Amino acid sequence: MIEKTLKVEGMTCQHCVQTVSEAVGKMAGIQKVEVNLEQKLVNVEFDESKSTIDAISSRIADAGFEIVED
In the 3-class helix/strand/coil scheme, how is 2-66 assigned residue by residue? EEEEEEEECCCCHHHHHHHHHHHHCCCCEEEEEEECCCCEEEEEECCCCCCHHHHHHHHHHCCCE
Task: Please write the tens of the pLDDT for every residue from 10-65.
Answer: 999 999 999 999 999 999 999 999 999 999 999 999 999 999 999 999 999 999 99
Give the global pTM. 0.91
Look up the domain containing 46 and give its range: 2-68
- CATH number, domain with residue 16: 3.30.70.100
Give the integer Cα–Cα distance in Å for 69 and 18. 22
What is the total count of domains within the chain?
A: 1
Q: Residue 67's beta-bridge partner residues? A: 8
- Alpha-carbon distances of 28 from 11, 37, 70, rounded to whole Å: 23, 24, 26
